[in-house]
Amino acid sequence: MYKTVECSPPGAAPAFRMPAARSHSWSMVVMIKQHLKQNVYEAFLERLKFIFEEFDNIYISFSGGKDSGLLLNLVLDYRDRCFPQKALGVFHQDFEAQYTVTTEYVERTFERIKGRVEPYWVCLPMATRTALSSYEMYWYPWDDTRRDAWVREMPQEEYVVNLENNKMTTYRYRMHQEDLAKQFGRWYRDAHDGGKTVCLLGMRADESLQRYSGFLNKKYGYKDTCWISKQFKDVWCASPLYDWSVDDVWHATYLFDYDYNRLYDLYYMAGLKPSQMRVASPFNDYAKDALNLYRVIDPEIWCKLVGRVQGANFASIYGKSKAMGYRNITLPEGHTWKSYTKFLLDTLPKRLRNNYAKKFNTSIQFWHGTGGGLDESVIQELQEKGYQIRRNGVSNYTLNQKSRIVFVGPIPDHTDDIKSTKDIPSWKRMCYCILKNDHICRFMGFGMTRQQQKRLDMIRRKYKSIEEFDYEV
């Protein structure tokens, strides 16, 4: 039966229903996806009620994308109806380089809500990953040493946070973008005299397998929830839209007549698929393949992007070509994939070389010591093809607790003969990461969430010896 909700949606009759009459729930113990007799909007309202009753301080992370934009509007409307005395903060992390229409949407939004929230438009220098260069891992939005090269002028609104008026005591000059976002939560908690603090995110499980698994694998959920995770003492992150689909997001935006980033209209006219429509830094792994769109959609910004970050023009021209390692890579004559990987490592600057070497070593030690969860069909194919493997219990990080498989012998040079999966280690995959400028090594399963980073650090501590490399760390 449907559960009762106390607050009616804005501008809708009590009989309002989202078209997708389902909400998802994942059990923390057995990690099984369940369908509830409840639509996603009703489930969302219940989550908001839980949040507003449980947490002392609440702020929303607003990126300028469709998900965070919808979340911001829904939460504000709910607060005004049900908890009008509750203060809300809005945090926007500005990466300097973005489409003009995105900036216009952010400006419109802050001007519309500034009297209803505590606005924080953060324009501080921060280390931001770039996938455009083989020699630079980071670029620095709002770099105070390169004001003449800024893609756009610093916003001048009174709620903009920059080096001249920064009150964020947890900020460190040029800190990583991920750390800045997390440390803002600590500062927000302290600035509001402590208490339980939560950051609301527009993350959804169906955006990627990584995010789906992230919700599934929460170890530090708040009161048995999979959509609330702990960051620091009394600081949490919540994703109340976690079980919404992209159709749900756009349907709700239309039904409630909310403003949104018109960049999505331009993306649609350009023929992009919904999965390709991202509002993010143009230089990261997810956005670089669409860099060429800047030349068409926003030529003025494009001219500034070329001079801002090394490799922008090259990536826009060759982003989907062999030059960027996008398609099949060819092994030079006389090399194995292992020798070619080590050759490429030797050509890189020390800092970047050690970044790859540490990740490669972590992967090697993981597959030799712990093992990854694989389907039985994959295990059978590996055995039939003569790979030296053994079982090592079950993986709690996979659905249906798949068997962990450890590689007994050397890491394969390549696994081109394995057709059932690509999620097994090889030197070719390592080589691919270098040629793709994949500094994070996403192609090998690495990510940048805090939970994943803690897990990798644990593995590094457990396996202190380096098997294959002797590079200085």
Maximum average pLDDT range among 23-32, 85-94, 275-284? 85-94
Residue 12 lies in a domain: no
pLDDT at 242 over 90: yes
pLDDT at 207 over 50: yes
Give how many domains the chain has, as a whole number.
3
When pLDDT is cut at 50, 70 and 90, the band that residue 369 belongs to is very high
- Kindly report the CATH number assigned to the domain that includes residue 137: 3.40.50
Residue 268 lies in a domain: no
* Domain interval for residue 294: 278-324
- CA pair distance 30, 48, nearest whole angstrom: 25
Whether residue 222 is found in the same domain as residue 139: yes
pLDDT at 160 over 90: yes
Whether residue 213 is found in the same domain as residue 305: no
- CA pair distance 94, 126, nearest whole angstrom: 10
Whether residue 287 is found in the same domain as residue 242: no
Residue 266 lies in a domain: no
pLDDT at 318 over 50: no
pLDDT of the residue at 196: 97
CB 255 within 8 A of CB 261: no
Identify the residue with better confidence: 149 or 113: 113
Residue 226 lies in a domain: yes
Whether residue 169 is found in the same domain as residue 115: yes
Least confident of 70-79, 326-335, 373-382, 419-428: 326-335
pLDDT at 20 over 80: no
Whether residue 165 is found in the same domain as residue 294: no
pLDDT of the residue at 316: 40
Whether residue 102 is found in the same domain as residue 73: yes
pLDDT at 391 over 90: yes
The verdict on pTM exceeding 0.75 is no
CB 374 within 8 A of CB 423: yes
When pLDDT is cut at 50, 70 and 90, the band that residue 94 belongs to is very high
pLDDT at 61 over 80: yes
Least confident of 2-6, 23-27, 405-409, 426-430: 2-6
Which residues on neighbouring strands pair with residue 237, listed in sequence order? Answer: 199, 229
Average pLDDT, the chain: 81
Whether residue 56 is found in the same domain as residue 164: yes
For 162, the token pair is 């920059």
Burial profile 415-429: b = 16 or more Cβ within 10 angstroms, e = fewer? beebeeeeebbbbbb
CB 128 within 8 A of CB 122: no
**Tens-place pLDDT, residues 245-297:** 999 999 999 999 999 999 999 888 888 888 778 887 666 555 445 566 766 67
H/E element holding 338? helix 337-346
Whether residue 342 is found in the same domain as residue 414: yes
When pLDDT is cut at 50, 70 and 90, the band that residue 304 belongs to is confident
Least confident of 142-156, 244-258, 326-340: 326-340
pLDDT at 326 over 50: no
Whether residue 305 is found in the same domain as residue 348: no
Whether residue 347 is found in the same domain as residue 386: yes
Whether residue 180 is found in the same domain as residue 57: yes
Closest CA to 311 of 108, 137, 159: 137
pLDDT of the residue at 401: 78
* Side-chain half-sphere exposure of 322, counting CA atoms within 13 A: 4
pLDDT of the residue at 305: 72
Residue 413 lies in a domain: yes
Residue 308 lies in a domain: yes
Residue 267 lies in a domain: no
- CA pair distance 394, 405, nearest whole angstrom: 9
Which residue shows structure tokens 């800045």?
Answer: 180
Q: In what order do the strands lie in the sheet with 403-407?
A: 372-374, 403-407, 389-394
When pLDDT is cut at 50, 70 and 90, the band that residue 140 belongs to is very high
Residue 272 lies in a domain: no
Whether residue 308 is found in the same domain as residue 347: no
